[in-house]
A and B are shown apart, each in its own frame.
Chain A
Amino acid sequence: MAAATALRLAEADRARLNATLAWSEEALAAEAELIGRSREPGALQNIPVAIKDNIVTTGLPTTCGSRILEGYHSPFNATVIDRLHAAGAMVACKTNLDEFAMGSSTEHSAFGRVRHPLDPSRVPGGSSGGSAALVAAGVVPVALGSETGGSVRQPASFCGIVGVKPTYGRVSRYGLVAFGSSLDCVSVFARTVSDAGRVLRVIAGSDPRDATTLTTPPMALPAPRASLAGTTIGIPREYFPADLDPGVRAACDDALARMRELGAKVVEVSLPHSSLAVPAYYILAPAEAAANLARYDGARYGARAAVPGDVRALYRATRGAGFGAEVRRRILVGTYVLSAGYYDAYYARAQAARRRVAADFSRAFASGVDLLFTPTTPTTAFKAGEKTGDPVAMYLADVFVCPASLAGLPAMSLPIGRSDGLPVGGQLIAPPLKETEMLAAAAALEGVLEADTEVSR
């Protein structure tokens, strides 16, 4: 398995996807040796898993796509890496990402942008673009990414694969390099709903090293469902604006028709505070990030600028040179919104908005809706460079994925069709801890959509 994975990774490198940041035959051999020691095969025995480079691993360096961590080797593995190993899976490689996971296109990596596997002029989405591209290109069957505000669902949608974000607290964050700690979730990419469920089940569960993990019974794998009878799907009208990309709308309409055919009851609902999500997110996540990234000061590890002067000069030079423009922008915003005199106007109001967004979801689910269905993104994969000059346009690429992140809800994207040859993703959002039910419905929809694809072929 190690040798075959190495061949495919080398091929991906030749295809200039720029999706990997670190891999080696030696590291793969060591992984194979490690998982070969277990006596009984695990749930993911011999499966190579690509790992977003903001999840720490002892076998390969962890850079977070940043110059400031160039060459950094973690002395410990993330809890999710330990769980993958225990299940017999191997770390295939570390994947490229927007620096410190801040971005929606994987153009903000210090190590160059990731190319979309179907069209190299386009972006794969982000920030987990490297992991998404490798799964979409067939290099690995599954990969780990991370979400703070949609960084797995959005690239899954752009790349035509499955991306699943669990309930906040379902999967340990120990070893996930912090960005927005109240939002960060290790999440899964796969080519099928079933594979995504298998990986999620392995990495889920409470962790004594992460005080925010939930103590819940182990996550069950979804039982196959041939019908969606008895399931009520809510369609939030705020997610289908008049200017929605027509190809995206058509794919959603088709998916909804399929779900009705499967027996689902489809009802319209309203999530009136949805438009507050992106603005609130871009206050809360940077505020947390400004604190989380304070530790990269050149004093103990990572890059250190060689400058004369006192420790302040060292900080300024190290951080000024080590962080890219988008990271610096968010640190500045985050510092500003927590400053004395501005806290109430920004941070406190953003928290109130977050509570309203979450309350919208609670109301919808309490009204008898089992799952919500929306487009994952307003458009298909956009061109590289199209939004890099306009941060707000870039931020709005996450307008449909951000709300579930703020509410801490499980949500996923699955491919529901194409528009002008590019994949369109549909999003399912579930109540807290209802991953199994969400995956079961997704698998049923995936079944009928695949059948369609086969017929049309």
Chain B
Amino acid sequence: MTWETVIGLEVHVQLGTRSKLFCGCSTNFGDPPNSNVCPVCLGLPGALPVPNAMAVRLAVRAALALECGVQEVSVFARKNYFYPDLPKGYQISQFDRPIATNGKLQIDSADRGPVAVSIQRLHIEEDAGKLLHDRIPGKTAIDLNRAGVPLAEIVSGPDLRSPAEARSYLTALKQILVYSGVSECNMEKGSLRVDGNISVRRPGERELGTKTEIKNLNSFANLERALGAERVRQLALLEGGGRVEQVTLLFNAGTGEVRPMRSKEESHDYRYFDDPDLPPLKVGAGTLEEIRAELPELPGAKRSRLMSVYGIGAYDAGVLASERSTADYFEAVCRLGPDPKSAANWIMNETGAHPAPEALAELIGLVADGTVSHQAAKRIYPELHGGSAPREVAARLGILQVRDEDALRRWVDEVVAAHPDEVVRYRAGESRLLAFLTGQVMKRSRGTADPKGVQAMLARRLEDS
């Protein structure tokens, strides 16, 4: 019997502000414990939160990038629970009136092709602090540097059908958020965190199965592994005639297994209510348009445009569009006139920092008009970073391509004379020696000869007599 897997993800991303959501403390990662704290984020008596306008802007930007409807009025609410990393005993979040709802994100599924995954909601909330269990023997220490760091929680619909699709979704989400300058999305630094909800059902069923939630999956690979493991666990339960309990699970990356959280680690009733310290958050039409105008062209749109404007293939366009800086560089080079396909190849194949667009454009031109060989151009390329012009580098290296027939003939004659044995063996049918002899000619030309021309001339010369 077959089963359908249904997955939805809850993703927390840190909004890339310099200061916290409700106070002026730095959000810098890795500072000494409790060095970025003040009365507000410590929850001292009498302190009050004041919203960070930049955090709100970035959340709106994320919402627009994900094609959400941005609410003109949204409301901060208190989510009440006791935990030592939560200084106020409540987290300021958004509950029944989030800042954005009803978006979508396009992903490429290996099984289903392009899929539009729905985004149910995006809301703003503050992060909690961090408990350190290894700092003081026998005690738990609290670092509140993260307390109050701005986050956006992005909740997808139950639209993903496999762990691999979940991973594609997270990859696409990260790409779009990094692209639009919303977040660094760095899992190691905690600026991207993901919880997965998963259930299974018979294909064609409309009701969702009982879901479980897997908390804090710390890498893209572990997201896929954990969902895969939980899928197997649920199927085993159901096929064995059992049923799935709605529980929260933790993934053990070491064993590859999921285990239920202790019930104490769960909280059941957060007693949400509107935070009276914060007036409703308003995003006017003017501000919304301003933020929309700031929004860069997003990866999907950019990919299509690169294909249509520059005539490059879908794969190349996808690679170039995956990072904003790469695509920008590609376009800067193309504006200077060289063949876009060659430009794309150079940019995708050469690792490391790219030279000035002018330099690459000129280099492509030199190859195209035969001034240097492709081989020679590859030697020139790394020399361009200092700002040198390609033609000068070629001259300095002595590798401007030689098309002088007399010079070529002279080198061919010298090589034939110097390797009589090889010439005899070649003529006797050992045809692979042509490459060896061509190499000898190239050596004499110090790389400046056109290898194809050399090979052709050698072949003719060796057949002649």
Chain A interface residues toward B at CB < 8 A? 55-56, 62, 64, 69, 72, 74-76, 78, 173-178, 180-182, 208-212, 287-288, 290-291, 293-295, 297, 299-301, 311-312, 315, 335, 338-340, 343, 347
Among A174, A175, A340, A347, the residue within 8 A (CB) of B269 is: A340
- List of A residues within 8 angstroms of B90 by Cβ: 291, 294
Residues in A with CB closer than 8 Å to B84 are 297, 299, 311
Would you call the interface of chain B mostly helix, strand, loop, or mixed?
loop
Nearest chain B CB to A25 CB, angstrom units: 26
Residue among B45, B90, B275 with max Cβ neighbours from chain A (10 Å): B45
CB distance from A157 to the nearest CB of B (A): 27
Complex: how many Å from CA A299 to CA B277?
Answer: 23
Task: Using known A-B contacts A287-B273, A311-B84, A347-B273, determine if residue A211 contacts B43 with beta carbons closer than 8 Å.
Answer: no
Interface membership of B44, Cβ < 8 A: yes
Q: Which chain B residues lie closer than 8 Å to A64 at the CB level?
A: 45
B271 touches A297 (CB 8 A): no
Chain A residue contacts of B49, Cβ below 8 A:
211
Q: Are A182 and B46 neighbours in the complex by a CB distance under 8 Å? A: no
Binding site for A on B (CB under 8 A): 39, 42-51, 78, 80, 82-84, 87-90, 140, 142, 264, 268-269, 271-273, 275-279
**Are the CB atoms of A56 and B46 closer together than 8 Å?**
yes
Interface pair A181/B50, CB less than 8 Å apart: no
Tell whether A338 pairs with B142 under 8 Å between CB atoms, given A62-B45, A291-B80, A299-B84.
Answer: no
Minimum CB–CB distance from B136 to chain A (whole Å) comes to 14
B88 touches A335 (CB 8 A): no
A312 to B48, CA, bound (A): 26
Pick the contact of B48 from A69, A210, A340 — CB < 8 Å? A210
Residues B45 and A56 in contact, CB atoms below 8 Å apart: yes
Inter-chain contact A294/B48, CB cutoff 8 Å? no
Bound complex: CA of A210 vs CA of B277, how far in Å?
8
A148 CA to B51 CA in the complex, in Å? 24
| Cα–Cα, bound, A165→B51 (Å) | 27
* A209 and B45 contact, CB distance less than 8 A: no
Which 4 interchain pairs have the tightest Cβ spacing?
A294-B89, A182-B276, A338-B271, A181-B276
A294 adjacent to B277 (CB under 8 Å): no
Looking at the complex, which one of A177, A293, A300, A339 makes contact with B46 (CB distance below 8 Å)?
A177
- Which residues on the B side are within 8 Å of A290 (C-beta)? 80, 271
CA distance A213 to B83 in the complex (A): 30
Q: Please name all residues of chain A whose beta carbon is closer than 8 Å to the beta carbon of B268 when the two chains form the complex.
A: 340
- In the complex where A211-B278, A212-B277 touch, is A294 in contact with B82 (Cβ < 8 A)? yes
Residues of the A chain whose Cβ atoms lie less than 8 Å from the Cβ of B272: 338
17 extra interface residue pairs, beta carbon distance < 8 Å, beyond A181-B276, A339-B269 = A69-B45, A74-B39, A173-B48, A178-B48, A208-B50, A209-B50, A210-B50, A211-B49, A211-B278, A212-B276, A290-B80, A290-B271, A294-B88, A294-B89, A295-B45, A312-B264, A338-B271
- In the complex, the answer to whether A291 meets B273 with C-beta atoms within 8 Å is yes
